[in-house]
Amino acid sequence: MISLIGISYKTSKVEVREQFVLSHEEIIPFSELLQNETGISDIVVLSTCNRTEIYFSQNKYDFHLASKLVYKTLKQFKGIQDKYWHVFYSYSNTEAVKHLFEVSCGIDSMIIGEDQIVGQIKDAYVFCTEAALTDAILMRLFQKSFEASKRVRTETQIKMGSTSVSNAAVQLCSNRFSNFKDKKVLLIGAGDTGSLVLQHLHKKGVKQVVITNRTAEKAEKLAARHKCTTIPIELVSEQLHRFGIVIVATGSKVPLITKKMIRRSTQLRNDVEQVFIDISVPKNIEEDIENLDGAQLFTIDDLQGVVNTNVEKRKGSICAANKIISQIVDEYCEWLASRALRPTIKAITYNMLKISKKEVSSYNKINSEEMQKALNEFSKHLAQKYTRLLIKNLKDITTNGKNTESLTFVNNLFEIGNN
């Protein structure tokens, strides 16, 4: 049985989620405690800023008891006394498989279609597999989740367009300039938003980025991480004309770029186009520059419209994504159910050959060597024929292993497991 328990941004606040985060260093000690307390040893732990989920494979307990035991062990391991079961979710079998596939495809993410989660799932799977914490059932499950993710991201439009303002700002510049990689960019602001802008610029291959910030030390730290240069914010006015793109992302209460500064800059550039993007709240660039030749301003409102449109487009892909997910869920569950037949098939095959060999042996003493050989071959053929017939009927009766009640009846009928 495949099961999972989890807590995510959908069910709890970050103050609760952070209590249940499991680092890579904690996973093996946790698994050891879980095995000692419950006997459950096959797990994959996915722990990110938005979710902690524990996937496990076991047949010792019923689903509800197993889920509670894993939750109880997790609380024990983390030293948590308060009750949080009401913000946890738990799934088993098909529902658990479907949930993992939705997570890997980005459907269950805060930003629909985001790519980061599938990398995090791969890291979690590889770590637990290399630590010998996964069985064949979990290994197959996660491999199929990667297949689902790849198909959804390539066969649907779930990745279409930017879904963050910082990414949209960079995408806008990329679309506007054919030589975007060669442009000189001035980034004003070294906070979280500025850092994201810088990451997106580097992904696009932009090398000439200069950072400035009201707190110079903060700009220098960000620049050092990304091998950029800085200038003092006091020099922005006189150096503004050097940059084809100016992106402002600060928390300043007053405009840092004025119309006067932009007018002077465009004059020095001989009206060669200069793009200004203001993603600050409140706005940090004076807006009244429509009549200045060579200057183009985009505000956060312009970009948010693009983001909202892209989010709606991605939502429109969920239906197509779910069809792909359902197909791969069925494939996996079919494989999982067929595994339940293996002991029965093995036992039927063994018992039929055993009976055949035993019965034929009594005739070997009274027949010639040639007759014995023919009898052995006929007996083997007959056993194989009836074995195939029994296996075919077994698959039909148990719906290829999905009907566990019928499977139990067949096992009892042939006393399989007692031989």
Q: Is 172 found in the same domain as 134?
A: no
**Which comes out higher in pLDDT, residue 44 or 401?**
44
Of 304, 324, 350, which closes a domain?
304
Any idea which of 79-88, 89-98, 163-172, 312-321 has the lowest mean pLDDT?
Answer: 163-172
| Model pLDDT, residue 348 | 67
Which domain range does residue 152 map to?
2-160
Mean pLDDT of 352-376: 68
Of 107, 128, 160, which closes a domain?
160
Of 160, 195, 226, which closes a domain?
160
Mean pLDDT of 184-199: 93
Mean pLDDT of 103-123: 90
Task: Exactly one of 49, 105, 128, 319 is catalytic; name it.
Answer: 49
Q: Is 169 found in the same domain as 83?
A: no
The verdict on residue 118 lying in a domain is: yes
Known catalytic membership, residue 49 = yes
Both tokens of 126, joined, read 């590889």
Q: Which of 210, 196, 199, 205 is nearest to 174 (CA)?
A: 205
Instruction: Provide the b/e sequence for 124-154 (b: ≥16 CB within 10 Å).
Output: bbebbeeeebbbebbbebbebbebbbebbbe
Q: Is 261 found in the same domain as 175?
A: yes
pLDDT in tens, 74-93: 999 999 999 999 999 999 99
The verdict on residue 149 lying in a domain is: yes
The verdict on residue 313 lying in a domain is: no
Any idea which of 144-148, 171-175, 246-250, 260-264 has the lowest mean pLDDT?
Answer: 171-175
| pLDDT mean across residues, the chain | 87
Q: Is 138 found in the same domain as 17?
A: yes
Mean pLDDT of 288-296: 84
The reply to whether the predicted model has a pTM over 0.85 is no
- Alpha-carbon distance 97 to 2, whole Å? 8
Any idea which of 34-38, 82-86, 252-256, 389-393 has the lowest mean pLDDT?
Answer: 389-393
- Alpha-carbon distance 30 to 79, whole Å? 12
Residue 148 has pLDDT above 80, yes or no: yes
Strands 229-230 and 274-278: unpaired
Could you tell me the pLDDT band of residue 414, with boundaries at 50, 70 and 90? low
Residue 419 has pLDDT above 50, yes or no: no
Could you tell me the pLDDT band of residue 365, with boundaries at 50, 70 and 90? low
Non-local (6+) Cβ contacts of 360 within 8 A are 375, 376, 379
| Model pLDDT, residue 302 | 85
Highest mean pLDDT, choosing among 31-35, 192-196, 384-388, 401-405 = 31-35
What CATH number should be reported for the domain holding residue 39?
3.30.460.30
pLDDT in tens, 377-398: 776 776 667 667 666 666 666 5
| Model pLDDT, residue 386 | 62
Residue 282 has pLDDT above 90, yes or no: no
Residue 400 has pLDDT above 70, yes or no: no
**Which comes out higher in pLDDT, residue 361 or 299?**
299
| Model pLDDT, residue 98 | 97
Residue 184 has pLDDT above 50, yes or no: yes
CB-based contact 139:129 (threshold 8 Å): yes
Any idea which of 38-42, 94-98, 238-242, 347-351 has the lowest mean pLDDT?
Answer: 347-351
Q: Is 108 found in the same domain as 50?
A: yes
What CATH number should be reported for the domain holding residue 172?
3.40.50.720
Number of domains in the chain: 3
Any idea which of 26-35, 144-153, 235-244, 303-312 has the lowest mean pLDDT?
Answer: 303-312
Mean pLDDT of 24-47: 96
Neighbours of 74 (CB within 10 A): 23
CA-to-CA separations, 3 to 63, 66, 186, 410, in angstroms, rounded:
7, 8, 50, 26
CA-to-CA separations, 302 to 83, 99, 297, 298, 307, in angstroms, rounded:
45, 35, 10, 6, 9
The verdict on residue 324 lying in a domain is: no
Mean pLDDT of 50-64: 94
Q: Strand pairing partners for 2?
A: 57
